[in-house]
Amino acid sequence: MRQQFSNVIKVFVDELFKDEPPRNTTYAYKNFLNDAIIGILGSGSVLISEIARSLHENISLKKTEDRLCSMLNNALLPRESIQEYATEIGTRYVVQEDVIAFDIGDITKKYAKKMDHLYRVHDGSTGELGMGWELFNVESIHWENNEKFHPPLYSKIINADCSDYKSQNYQIILAIKSVQKFLRDFQGVWAFDRLHDRKIIFKELLKMRINWIVRMKYNRILYTDANIKISIDELIGIMELSKSAWRFLFPKRSGYLHIGWRKVRLPSSQGDITLIVVRDERNIKPIFFLTNLPVTDDLSAIVAFGYYLERWGVEEGFRFQKVIFDLENLRTREWRSIQNLILMTHLSYLFISCLYRKYKNELEFLTEKLLKNFYSIDTICYRYYRIAHLIRRLLSKDPLEEMLPSYNFLLLLQLTGQPSFLPPLTMDTRKLLAA
């Protein structure tokens, strides 16, 4: 059973090297990626020793670990091209109404002293500064039949101590362009929190042919339609909010919301955009957003606000990686190895997303048969935790054939006869990769 599921992972790895010419080094890289993804999914850890143990090779554990460490620190491993192919695979799932959420996460190492490029970063868990690295993440959030799907699109670890780190703004813009390269114009809605209320980022967003919504700070200066210069804090004091209250009932119930909107423009732009103000009766201060989405009435304004609320999906995805892959327990010292290991984790997360999107019903059926849980999988929205535990079980050394007397895994998933479980290309993105 383990070998059968390993063949499924091999299909995914082959797609990452689909256009690479067959060379001995390519064969070695594919084998390494296959072993790394199997090890991370099977062990639920980024510790090299745990990854090596979960491979169950018929050689000493020390030799397996040495081989993995050697490949992990290989300067010739094409990390950038693998990341591009992974982004291209993830963007195949993005549809017009999806939210493309961006966020800057962190990995902090409280006691580490000799790991490469440790630098001060904001620890999102404690709200304090700590030594570690920044993680620039992009995910697509898609709802279908009351279920949430999270294909990860981009992940990069870096901080201000690295030689190729120009600025945080540069890394943010690079992440947006790296993903948008594989999307059509105005496909999906990009959502940013108030950390990204920055002049240089707005300058780039206004150039791109994308839909976006950004949460704003109080001191942002805008121009009204009468060409009056005014701060947001002053503007919301004179804006009228809707007398009727709105309320979201799914996926979570919100409070009663009063909404207002007004056409404004930024000092660096001549085009009109929309300022949306939302006041929750439970809160003292309202929250407000800028967006280039078409807003013509209160309904379209509340829909735009709904897009922003889905930005939390990227936080869920980052927490998923920290919990399932024990991401903050990273122990590798060399910077190249750290970068490659983060990429392997990203690929493992992408594999879970791709497999679940294609074989949702079959995998959910297996979770109910193999895993013991208090609640059925039908009662939860974010189901990747269950799927990750199922995959770990399938990759274990246990005799699963005895547990499945009447449920044949290959018959359920029908994977062996499939050239690929990934969706077909929707546009000729391979030419973009070769450019």
Pair (268, 306) in one structural domain: yes
Assess if residue 98 is contained within a domain: no
Q: What is the CATH number of the domain that holds 253?
A: 3.90.350.10
Assess if residue 56 is contained within a domain: yes
Q: Is beta strand 99-108 parallel, antiparallel or unpaired with respect to 189-192?
A: parallel
Kindly compute the dihedral angle of the four CA atoms of residues 423, 17, 353, 49, in this order, to the nearest 10 degrees.
160
Assess if residue 48 is contained within a domain: yes
Show the domain range for 297: 196-310
User: Per the structure block, which two tokens stand in for 168?
Assistant: 């945080």
Low-confidence ranges of the chain (pLDDT < 70): 1, 24, 397-421, 425-435
Q: Which of 294, 310, 326 is the last residue of a domain?
A: 310
Q: What is the pLDDT of residue 375?
A: 87
**CB proximity list for 39: less than 8 A, separation 6 or greater:** 50, 51, 52, 54, 55, 68
Whether the pTM exceeds 0.85: the reply is yes
Pair (302, 373) in one structural domain: no
Judge whether 132 and 167 are in contact, CB under 8 Å.
Answer: no
Q: What is the pLDDT of residue 406?
A: 45
Nearest-angstrom CA–CA distance, 137 and 154: 6
Q: What is the pLDDT of residue 356?
A: 92
Assess if residue 162 is contained within a domain: no
Domain total of the chain: 2
Of 252, 251, 243, 309, the closest CA to residue 281 belongs to 243
Q: Which long-range contacts (CB under 8 A, 24 or more apart) does 247-254 make?
A: 248/306, 248/309, 250/146, 251/143, 251/146, 251/148, 251/381, 254/280
Pair (343, 423) in one structural domain: yes
* Helix (H) or strand (E) run with residue 307 in it: helix 298-309
Assess if residue 201 is contained within a domain: yes
Q: What is the pLDDT of residue 398?
A: 59
Pair (234, 293) in one structural domain: yes
Pair (296, 377) in one structural domain: no
Q: Is 55 helix (H, G, I), strand (E, B) or coil?
A: helix
Q: What is the pLDDT of residue 283?
A: 81
Pair (298, 357) in one structural domain: no
Kindly compute the dihedral angle of the four CA atoms of residues 215, 220, 224, 228, in this order, to the nearest 10 degrees.
170
Pair (286, 378) in one structural domain: no
Pair (269, 349) in one structural domain: no
Pair (288, 340) in one structural domain: no
Pair (306, 340) in one structural domain: no
Q: What are phi and psi of 170, to 5 degrees?
A: -60, -45
Assess if residue 375 is contained within a domain: yes
Buried b (16+ CB within 10 A) or exposed e, 99-119: bbbbbbbbbbbeeeeebbbbe
